[in-house]
Amino acid sequence: MTVLVVTAGLALALTSCGGGGGDDKPEGKAPSKSGATPSSPGADDTSPSAEPTQILAQMKGEKDVTVTLNEAKRDSGGFVTVKGTLTNNGTSIFNATSWVGQEIAVQKSGASVAGAVLVDEAGKKRYYVLRDTEGKCLCTMGLNLIKPGETRPIFAQFPAPPAATTEVEFQLPTMPPAKITISEG
């Protein structure tokens, strides 16, 4: 009987404390504001947001695939995040398996933009896509079975070049390089 009373008391206490601050908002995603960006790369990068207002560069490559770069932002944490879209203008399904790059460490990322590089020509340095503790890139993964006419959002996060460096070249395997300007976030 004592066990039953204690269990019921604990259940009641947990139920009344589960509100998380008393704001009565449902748990899960917070309502998004128009034009807001996810707080961390990969948070919601699988669905396109509002139409990009700026085009930094456009690269046209194999199988009529176009990569449009819309944003390259430096944040206070010492990173640069490049965002854009991938559009399959071809007539067959596209898989970004060649974009993972040659580096063995990022092969776990699969069809992705893990092979992307920022090149600081003035500083003579290359910045590779960051990766997590499992070796997967901090970039868009799962870029396979992209149908003709389909557009998908992409991103890649890099270590930031020195603050004085604002012009870099974005390189992606099998695509022509593109010069982009880094903005302050």
Q: pLDDT per residue over 79-138, tens digit each? A: 999 999 999 999 999 988 888 877 777 677 778 888 999 999 988 999 999 988 888 889
pLDDT 10s digits, 65-75: 999 999 999 99
Q: Which domain holds residue 126?
A: 69-167
Question: What is the predicted pLDDT for the residue at 51?
Answer: 55
What's the pLDDT at 107? 73
Q: How many CA atoms lie within 13 A of 146 on its CB side?
A: 27
pLDDT tens, residue by residue, 22-37: 444 444 433 333 333 3
**64 found inside a domain:** no
Q: Does 63 map to a domain?
A: no
Q: What does the alpha-carbon distance between residue 153 and residue 69 come to, in Å, rounded to a whole number?
A: 10
The per-residue pLDDT for 167 is: 94
- Determine which of 4-8, 139-143, 147-151 has the lowest per-residue pLDDT on average: 4-8
Q: Which residues pair with 119 in a beta bridge?
A: 126, 169
Query: Would residue 123 count as lying in a domain?
Result: yes
Calpha distance 70→72 (Å, rounded): 7
Q: Is residue 39 part of a domain?
A: no
Q: Is residue 113 part of a domain?
A: yes
Domain count, the chain: 1
Which position has the higher pLDDT, 11 or 141?
141
In this structure, is residue 107 part of a structural domain? yes
Domain contains 127 = yes
pLDDT at res. 6 = 39
Give pLDDT tens digits for 46-84. 444 455 578 999 999 888 999 999 999 999 889 999 999
Domain membership of residue 162 (yes or no) is yes
